[in-house]
Chain A
Amino acid sequence: MTDKFISIEAIAKRYPGASGGEIAVFENLWLSMARGEFGCVIGHSGCGKTTVLNILAGLDEPSEGAVIVDGQAIEGTSLDRAVIFQSHALLPWRTVLGNVAYAVTSKWRDWDRARVKAHAQTFIDLVGLTGSEHKRPSELSGGMKQRVGIARALSITPKIMLMDEPFSALDALTRGTLQDEVRRICLTTGQTAFMITHDVDEAIYLADKIFLMTNGPGAVLAEIVENPLPKDRGRTDLHRHPYYYAVRNHIVDFLVSRSKTFAADVPGHDPRNVPVVRIGVSEPTIVAAPRAIETHPAQTIAR
């Protein structure tokens, strides 16, 4: 199955530098994801994660390259790609229901009020905000605001969900429950999701694939780590899984040391064929070329 539902092809993003020239946030970046996959990007601050996500959302344009979604190059934003913003980005003059309904009417312009309301209500219920429909964002807690953002994104039944550190501003407890909810929703609806996070555990819990980016400027996608944990993993017993520490250590090692020196350490790095890392019982190993994407992880992991 070589289904590339999302395919980022050779994108670059450059900004005019301080002294006349241009500074490339990243060059020649390739990244692909299959339908229904959950991808997490991890990398240090300023490496260009948000830039990649905004390009994928159509909010920003690459200086070079293209993004293909479902066989078509994207042009600008689309209702097929919903964004959950880090700062929730709710419209403060609208109520919870009003915010979700705004998205619903944007997608289905000809729906009448009752239908819009009923549809919006379904998604408000889904994120557990029943009873708060008529509150304004200023009357909600941070976690509740983020739930509204999730409900708004889900309500337009997008093909892809794009999330830029959606839970980073929340306390651990709220973050946990929202992670559970996002995972449940993505699993039941087969949603394709692309998420930026700084939280390694969040990535291990949610992602099928974890994309590791080196430090910028001139950041590259260094490795794709396949999540060795079973699909039915739970958030609270994550650390009991035999592969948990291996995968966690691998990512943390990357962030702590290898992300700085990657370019020097791996001179022949081919941005088009980013190595896929599969965590085994012994030591994590690079399982050669990108062909590995095609084989099903579960088969190679089996002892």
Chain B
Amino acid sequence: MNASLRLRAAIVSVALFLAFIGIWHIATRGTGAVGNMSPEYAKLMGLTATAGKSAMPGPLDVGAKLWEHLKQPFYDNGPNDKGLGIQLGYSIARVALGYLLAVIVAIPLGFLIGMSPLMNKALDPFIQVLKPISPLAWMPLALYTIKDSGLSAIFVIFICSVWPMLLNTAFGVAAVRKEWIDVARTLEVGTVRRAFTVILPAAAPTILTGMRISIGIAWLVIVAAEMLVGGTGIGYFVWNEWNNLSITNVIIAILTIGVVGMLLDQILARFTRLVTFPE
């Protein structure tokens, strides 16, 4: 029953995919030569106008280009022509660094907020104001103070991934069942040991949920941040290819962004499953 459901879902998925490719292919197919057009205009517009060819690449174009990229992901022909793998590598490295910094800050701070009602109340106004600020709004300030575009991007990743982790950690820690805390208290377990042996395992699923939300946001934001700061990264790649009017490459970049985002999410989902306990 379960297996058959999965099989049927897979069949529907494949069918939808093929239908999508088919429609895409038909929609971007050339419509034949177009007559009587001023030669000047025809020259300006290129094949798009003269051969009736759509400016939108078809699936076959994208497939061919993608194959090219996959064959040679790490080439480096100067600042404006780097392999897709290198650009992705830059983005992932920035996300990893900013995210790691956020973990280092958010989890201890979340513990503090969750365990101390005083700190909870004291820090609440700051969090309430800082949380809704779009991470990109920090960019000019970051560029001005840090004076390095790469580091600024990392800072923006840090600031956008810190909030979900902080709030989830604080919530998870504060919501640990009172009876588990009472067990630790009756056993005279000290604060530090209690934090590691009771609160951390009890709050871990909630904390990891926050980390999973954060990695998703970080991956969303890195593309925008790199479009702004330029230089390297998948976001810069998208922008650069747009300037080159290479829609094929833009589509490929979009596709890779999606796949990498999914992989990051899956990794965190796996960790979440590891720390989840049945009750």
Contacts and interface: CB of A to CB of B under 8 A. Distances in A.
A106 B188 contact: yes
B160 to A, nearest CB: 31
Interface string B80-124: 000000000000000000000000000000000000000000000
A79 B188 contact: yes
Contacts of B183: 85, 89, 91
A107 interface: yes
A83 interface: yes
Interface SS, B side: helix
B197 A81 contact: no
Contacts of A85: 179, 182-183
A89 B179 CA distance: 6
Interface in B244-279: 277-279
A293 interface: no
A81 B186 contact: yes
A59 interface: yes
A136 B277 contact: yes
A2 to B, nearest CB: 29
B278 A59 contact: no
B187 A102 contact: yes
Contacts of A15: none
A152 B186 CA distance: 11
Given A136-B278, A138-B278, A138-B279, A107 B187 contact: yes
A107 B188 CA distance: 8
Contacts of B187: 77, 79, 102-103, 106-107, 156
B230 interface: no
A57 B186 contact: yes
A100 to B, nearest CB: 11
Interface string A90-113: 011100000000110011000000
Interface string A107-147: 10000000000000000000000000000111000000000
A59 to B, nearest CB: 6
Interface of B: 177, 179-180, 182-183, 185-189, 197-198, 201-202, 277-279
17 contacts: A57-B186, A59-B186, A76-B185, A77-B185, A77-B186, A77-B188, A85-B183, A87-B179, A89-B179, A89-B183, A92-B277, A93-B201, A93-B202, A102-B197, A136-B277, A138-B278, A138-B279
Given A78-B188, A79-B186, A106-B187, 11 more contacts: A59-B182, A83-B182, A89-B179, A89-B182, A89-B183, A91-B201, A92-B278, A92-B279, A137-B279, A138-B277, A156-B187
